[in-house]
Structure 1
Amino acid sequence: MRSRSTLPCCITLLAFALPAQVINKPAQPNKFLEAVGRRAALLGREDGNFEAWVYPIKILRDFQLSVYIDNALEPTPLSGLAETVEVRPGHVTITHVTAAFTVRQTWVASLDKPAVEVLLDIDTSKPLKFRVSFIPEMKPMWPASFGGQSTGWNQKDGVLTFTEGMGRFRPVLGSPRFTRISEQIGHQLPDRTVMIEFEIDRSGRVPIVIAGSRSTYNEIIQDPDALVPAADTFYREFLNRTTSVQAAGLNPSYDWAKIAIEKGWACNDGVGCGLVAGWAPSGLSERPGFGWYFGGDTMMSAWAMQDYGDFAGARAALEFLLDRQRADGKVMHEWTQSSALLDWPKYPYGYYHADTTPLFLFTAARYVRQSGDRDFLQKHWAKLEQAYRFCLTMLDDDGLLSNQKGGAAAVETGALSGKVARDIYLQGVWLGGLAGFADLAGWRGNASLQSEAESRLARAREAIKPWFIQDKGIFAFAQLKDGSRYEANSGWQGFLIANGGIDRALAEKAAASLALPTLATPWGTRMFATDSPFYDPVGYNDGSVWPFVTAQTTLALFRHGQAAAGYRYIYGMAQATGLSGAGFISEYFSGDRFAEGPRAVPHQLFSSVALVHPLISGMLGLDGDAMAGRLTIHPQIPCSLGPVRFERYRVGDAWVSGAIRPAKPTSTVDIEVQGPTLKVVKQPAPCIDLQEVKPLTPGQRGQ
């Protein structure tokens, strides 16, 4: 794989290096900070407090470092001395400063081992005494549970071992510098804060390791400095092998979005490896944000992975879902990381969504189309057909899907909870899924199934037309159980408009409604417009701004004549990066002002997807079809943005690089393909006249 493209002689471009992904900022105690690996994580805040997980177990919470200053009887928490934070993809460092000493604590997670580490770089002119304090938990993710938790202290090695009644899990916390621990009770877990102390005579480094076993601890502590360069190298190589984009004001946020998605992998021996939905400290609960495996979230992440060329990751993510497909063909909605410790399918949550199964058909077809992975199609054809057959059991007489037969889709909570018979989002993913399955059947050579799916698709497209409200120019959100319609303008139309292949005139009218100020904010689209009956700007399902809904509306805007509004959403997502925590985009925002929603998860994968997917597939207009050996590019770039460059976009085994120069009457597009020959179809458009997009201010009111 090459590190950069060589463009034809007639194009002059400066070689550009990937930006150094380093965020330096003042420490903000309320902001999220993490070190996440595939098997363990530290989830905390920029003041240095955290909780530690070795999947699927929360080992401890409220971890805090303190230091005794000038022979004080009580130590001073370092959290109050946090000055700055440096965030890199592979590790984070908090700097604590006093007049007498400086402590830099670095958090890093092993990439593939169940271990995390806190490295303390201490610069002092005199001896210091430190205290580590935390509350022991030793609890698996909800809803599993343990009995008989206890701890044991090894004074010689400075290692504290946690265990549960059956002895299956024995994680440890330790450091060679630990010398003294508060009272321990050998047969049960301490019911109070545990304190461990250590002293240093001079400046130096102190490693603290939390690991899934003593053997892993021993391995890490032998070379405690190795984790940081290993993590840094991994993310540098990740950025170098995935699609890069150089566009003014978007580069760093785009790269951090890719990193945020890559940090979603979670593995444990009982479940395997899959993508979780997001990370956040669990506090007093037993789930770290959305640190479970979610079907819909995984598929959205797979769209972005395809966009930036991680075909292996996209396939692994989809196969994780197929491995948990129900016997009748339904695709999972959510799966706890502790499922090996209980009979998870007996709980009601695993398959209660109707949209995941048709969405899987759409996503699988998109994956096969761009990657050209016929092996995936051949290997999983039976399960793909089974998913299609299950969708047919959810049909109403008009060929559209029923929430009552299949489960929830757009609405889980809020004013419409329990009232929806059929919603527009479910119909959108059904049309997209039908089109996808028709393609899959065609590629497999099953003409009869392809014809059947195409016939159902044509019927469904006709059946959705009466949902369009001519005088409002929108598709109704839902048909309710009482026979009425909920006719509010909503961002939930976005998937149907972008991917449903519906009548173009209706799609263009509905896309225009997505740009109305009652629905649009500078940071994304509201779920429901401000003039809808139950609008609530902080209501979880009643008017807040969700990036994943914004992603769908953004594609609809680019594909149906509203490119200026689409670009504003991309820019809004870029500016939202870091509002919740350095490098991340929050789960959802207020519909009224630029602020996170109540209890929003700060690192949500589908929120980062909302920057990657519309940027690559919408604004740049890159559409790879390896099954046909074709690349279509239809860029829609603001005139004021200047040249946009991209490298390493993948279509099957081909790698594509190019430059787009926005101009009127027509933008110019230069493309170079390395690898198998592609038919390149260029559809350049005039650049977009765009009023200045002003920087957002946290707390800014929406329109």
Structure 2
Amino acid sequence: MVCSTRFISLATQAGLILLFSFPAAVRSQGALPTFSSIPTIPFDSAAPVIRAHSETEKPFTVAGERGVILGQQNGTFETWVLPVKLLSHLTIEADIEGYTVPIDVNQQAAEIEVRPDRTVITYSHIGFTVRQIMFSPNDAPEGTGPVVLFEFDCVHPTEFIFRFTPELRWMWPERNEGVPGVEWVAGPNAAPKAKEPGPSGSISGTPLPNHGYYVLHADYPDLAGAITIPGAQPGIIAPYQERPQVHPVEFHLHIDPSRDHGRLFPLLMAAGMNKASATNDALGLTLAKLNASIADLYAAHADGYKKLLADSTSISTPDKALNEAFQWAVVSIEQLRAHPVDAHSIPTDETALVAGYYASGDSARPGFGWFFGRDALYTLFAVNGYGDFSLSKSELEFLIKRQRDDGKIMHEYSQTAAAIDWRSFPYMYAAADATPLFLLAVTDYVRSSGDTAFLAAHRDAIEKAWEFETSHADANGIYANTQGTGWVESWPGGMPHQEVYLAFLDQQASGAMAQLEDMLHDSQKSTAARSRAEAIAKTIETQFYDKEKSCYAFNRNADGSLDRTSTVYPSLAWWSGKGLAGASSIPTQTGTCLEQFAGHALNTDWGLRDVANDEKIYDGMSYHQGSVWPLFTGWAALAEYRANQPLAGYQLLMENANLTNAQDLGAVTELLSGDFFVPFGRSTSHQLWSSAMVITPTLRGLFGIEIDAQTKTITVNPHLPANWPKAEVKNIQVPGGTLGLSFTKEGETLIMFLEQSGVNGWKVHTDSHNARPDPIRRSAFDFPLSPVRVTFLDDRLATAGAGTSIARVVHEEWNSRSVALQVEGPAGSSANFLVSQRDGKTPGLQVSGGLSNHAESGKPGALLTSLGIGDPVNAPPFASTLQINFPPGEGWKTITVTLAW
């Protein structure tokens, strides 16, 4: 026999409760369910996959439409059968037969493996290896959610003790009923063992020794939960007669290596959210149904992710990290689907996107955990980009259903909102920007999908949103913060009156509305909306442009004065581009905005601060005055690309892509410090729009793709890195089929080819004045390349806790015979470039500008060194390195270098 050591310590046992409200153990009065371990499952091994050593404080998320597991990489976790938090603080201890020291299994966490369909944490000890395999199937039986499978490989018989805190709490702000009571429902006795073990040492066809389960009871009969592990025995069960006292909630699972090797032991969890499903018998049957269906659930779950990735747009480039980050961003977004509940707290068939997840700790809100309007609306540009139009449509219809009577679009909506008086809380319509973003997202959806039937069906809702926006303008004719927060939710000196952020959204939404009315064949309304867009653009130029800082001011005060704080928000000027909101959406008076986005005062090695670090109000630890948001990095990356600044655009894009492996593996976090490379402690680690900001700048910036399904036109304005010999965008979803784009460099030409699969009649367009139709290939364009091309080589990853130290290109200016690069870096550092040119046709390069030109490495200035003949496939035959050495001293230095030929 193995003795388990029990510790009763309030300081270390998160799973301690009072057991005095219910009998110690009861036997179910109805059908007696049985539970069993299951044979191993043929787990999918397809890419993508991320493997890493476990880091205790880093989070992981396993999310699906019905449930979520949120934990730390040491394997502790909480689980939600949405929208109910079922248990938390699950930990494991091991008592090995003949080994006198109890083992804290969580301290043995060695590796984490993350795939789209599952996350696995491996615990490694000299006496055992345990694998904790987690997935969250969308098609799980009603009342169930995530599944956790434990695989044990033990040297000796071992007893594993699982401890947890029972929760049974609705997602906030639905009212909860205190600490749940816990009872053990004893199941039938075990059947006799077979005489001979079956394959892999298991006792073929024989149930494990116990079929009981814990039931968590609330004070009312319409909410209860159930939890079990096949074969597990309960921990301390205090008799009713005993005085009230605290005991841990435990499962004791005895693992016999000869019997249990190669089998999986599921942690089965269920929640009953009405009277019929919350009885002991109903919960037991739900657990048994889940137990019997695990293998089939996993197979369908894995196939679902295969189909998702097969049906979604993907990229193939020489940058493996970007390719994988793009795939993970698609997965990350899709994992944030959830179903809102109805007035009786029962999940509905509606599907919408939650803003993100992170462990809730002692609260009842898992990170953001709610449906957020503006978060989802920004994300739909990515969703439309990779082609999940059904998700875009369901999200827009979700928002339309909750549109306020006066036309305003909602922002925040709890997963339990329908069961309470949600409108008595201040969240639903608190944000002003959701309404113009809604008009932009609708336009993008209809243009990309061709779904004009959606437009016709929801015309009233769309025009009501437009009426709300236009009827709540300030005296200057632009939508203002009087209708809620624009971006910031707090600001030194008081809340803003009219943020430039809202002004740019209003202007672009007006242009988008003109396109919607065009599609609805109302020329009068279209003309009015287009005129409004043009008028707002002129007003922004005259009333928001700050000549002192050579960029747009953050805010226009009620008296007409400007808040000149240097921020990232002017980058919204480039969000929609010409295709979505018309030519008037691109600002004409940009000054040095773009240089400021790329420069060190706003840009760190891991993304964009919202406020420049040379402002008096800057605080890198604050939420709105200096922290780094991947969202902002995506805005700025797209702006740089659309303003023909690809070196800065690519650096910003990769700052986001590199965050895929930084914290919650496979997802991008919400926000990070403005001073050091570390996420905030309360940063929502699996954040919706953060992942979206890998996809949107890639498709619409790097590749410059815009889809117009009405005219069957794909516009492409590529900005590929100079050292890429080729690239592809695959499986672009359009009505009735797919498109593909290939980019191949041949000499001094980039050849872009459009491939049509299952569709006909599509044409390709480009805004480039130099491009010309390919003389040989149909649906192809030739883009002439400069005889000299430049690649920035300093793309190393930031290290944990480090400050900003990587040089950056803040501006590039190309002419027919020269290029000027404005580069900044820390004093005493250097920036490195690859300069490629063809043999025999381009005169020798000359470098000028900066401090001086030196032939000796390490001296301040620019050093051009020939590499001679290179790889004719991956680069032009001749290449040089350009090293820019910044002078010694303090702070950041700027050098402008000109290459002429």
Normalised by the shorter chain, which TM-score bucket? over 0.9
Q: Following superposition of structure 1 onto structure 2, how do residues 240-319 of structure 1 map, counting pairs within 5 Å? A: 240-247=310-317, 248-249=319-320, 250-270=322-342, 272-319=350-397
- For residues 25-44 of structure 1, what are the structure 2 equivalents within 5 Å? 25-44=52-71
Secondary structure of 1:639's aligned partner: coil
**Quick check: 2:508–2:585 contact (8 Å CA) kept in 1?**
no
Name the aligned partner's letter for residue 316 of structure 1. Answer: S
1:252 Cα deviation from its structure 2 partner: 1.0
Distance in 2 of aligned mates of 1:455 and 1:268? 39
Other-structure match for 1:178? 232
Deviations 1:23-45 (A, max 9, x none): 12111111111221111111101
Query: Per-residue CA shift, 1:528-551, capped at 9, x if unaligned?
Result: 112223111221100111111221
**Counterpart pick for 2:738 among 652, 655, 673:** 655
CA contact (8 A) 2:61 2:686 kept: no
- Name the residue aligned to 1:677: 761
Q: Tell me whether 1:472 sits opposite 2:549 in the alignment.
A: yes
Report the equivalent of 1:618: 701
**1:414-493 aligned within 5 A:** 414-415=491-492, 418-466=494-542, 467-480=544-557, 484-493=561-570
**Which residue of 402, 407, 421 corresponds with 2:480?**
402
- Contact 2:431–2:485 (CA under 8 A) maintained in structure 1: yes
After superposition, the Cα gap between the structure-2 partners of 1:384 and 1:569, relative to the gap in structure 1 and judged at 3 Å, is same
CA distance in 2, matches of 1:110, 1:185: 38
Contact 2:660 2:666 (8 Å CA) reproduced: yes
Q: Secondary structure at the match of 2:588?
A: helix
Cα distance change of structure 1 residues 491 and 186 upon mapping to structure 2, 3 Å threshold: farther
SS at 2:486 equivalent = coil
The residue that corresponds to 2:459 in the other structure is 381
Count of residue pairs the alignment pairs up? 684
When structure 1 is superposed on structure 2, of 107-116 and 45-54 the one drifting more is 107-116
Match of 2:775 in 1: none
- In structure 2, the CA distance between the partners of 1:189 and 1:226, relative to structure 1 (3 Å rule), is farther
Which is higher, the Rg of structure 1 or of structure 2? 2
Segment drifting more, 202-211 vs 606-615: 202-211
Match of residue 109, structure 1, among 136, 140, 160: 136
Give 1:691's match in structure 2, choosing from 792, 804, 812.
792
So what's the TM-score if we normalise by structure 2?
0.73
Contact 1:146 1:165 in 2 (8 A): no
CA distance in 1, matches of 2:239, 2:326: 50
What's the offset of the Cα at 1:627? 1.3
Distance 1:239 1:108 in 2: 17
Query: What is the CA deviation profile of residues 292-317 of structure 1, one whole-angstrom value per residue up to 9, with x for unaligned ones?
Result: 00001111221111111111111111
Aligned-pair CA distance for 1:268: 4.6
TM-score, normalisation: structure 1: 0.93
2:607–2:656 Cα contact (<8 Å) kept: yes
| Cα pair 2:553 2:566 within 8 Å, conserved | yes
Alignment of 1:275-674 (within 5 A): 275-404=353-482, 406-415=483-492, 418-466=494-542, 467-480=544-557, 484-499=561-576, 501-502=584-585, 504-507=587-590, 509-661=592-744, 665-674=748-757
Matched, 1:135 2:165: yes
**1:201 and 2:256 equivalent?**
yes
C-alpha deviations, 1:126-150, integer Å up to 9, x for none? Answer: 2111111011111111111133743
- Residue 590 of structure 1: how far off its partner (Å): 1.7
Offset from partner CA, 1:478-500 (integer Å, 9 cap, x none): 12357542112221111123337
Q: Is there any run of 5+ residues in structure 1 with no aligned partner, and where?
A: 1-17
SS in 2 for 1:506: coil
Contact 2:149 2:266 in 1 (8 A): yes
What is the CA–CA distance in structure 1 between the aligned matches of 2:239 and 2:796, rounded to whole Å?
A: 55
Distance verdict in 2 for CA 1:680–1:503, change over 3 Å:
closer
Equivalents in 1 of 2:63, 2:181: separation in Å?
A: 26
> CA 1:662 to 1:330, structure 2 compared with 1: closer, same or farther past 3 Å?
farther
Cα offset, 1:553, TM superposition: 1.4
After superposition, give the CA deviation of every residue in 1:340-388 in whole Å (9 maximum; x if it has no partner). Answer: 3211011111101100001100110011011110111011110000001
Give the superposition deviation at 1:664. 7.5
- For residue 577 of structure 1, give the secondary structure of its aligned residue in structure 2: helix
Distance 1:186 1:104, change over 3 A: farther
> Which amino acid in the other structure matches residue 151 of structure 1?
V
Q: Which residue of 2 aligns with 1:154?
A: 185
What is the distance in 1 between the residues matched to 2:628 and 2:145? 36
Q: Which residues of structure 2 form unaligned runs of 5+?
A: 1-44, 188-210, 273-282, 343-347, 769-782, 806-901
* Deviation of the 1:503 alpha carbon: 5.8
Alpha carbons of 1:184 and 1:693: their partners in 2 closer, same or farther (altered >3 Å)? farther
Aligned-residue offset at 1:167: 2.2
The CA RMSD measured in Å over matched residues stands at 2.3
Partner Cα separation in structure 1 for residue 111 and residue 244 of structure 2: 35
After superposition, the C-alpha distances for 1:68-103 in whole angstroms (9 at most, x for unaligned) are 134678742211111111111111111111112211
Pair 1:483–1:533, CA change in 2 (3 A): farther
Structure number with greater CO (CA < 8 Å, separation at least 6) is 1
Return the letter of the residue paired with 2:222: R
Q: Distance in 1 between matches of 2:148 and 2:98?
A: 25
SS in 2 for 1:43: strand
Task: Give the 3 Å change call, closer, same or farther, for CA 403–379 of structure 1 in structure 2.
Answer: same
Question: Partner of 2:79 in structure 1?
Answer: 52
Q: Which moved more, 1:516-525 or 1:283-292?
A: 516-525
More helix by share: 1
Q: Does 1:165 align with 2:256?
A: no
Bigger drift between 260-269 and 647-656 goes to 647-656
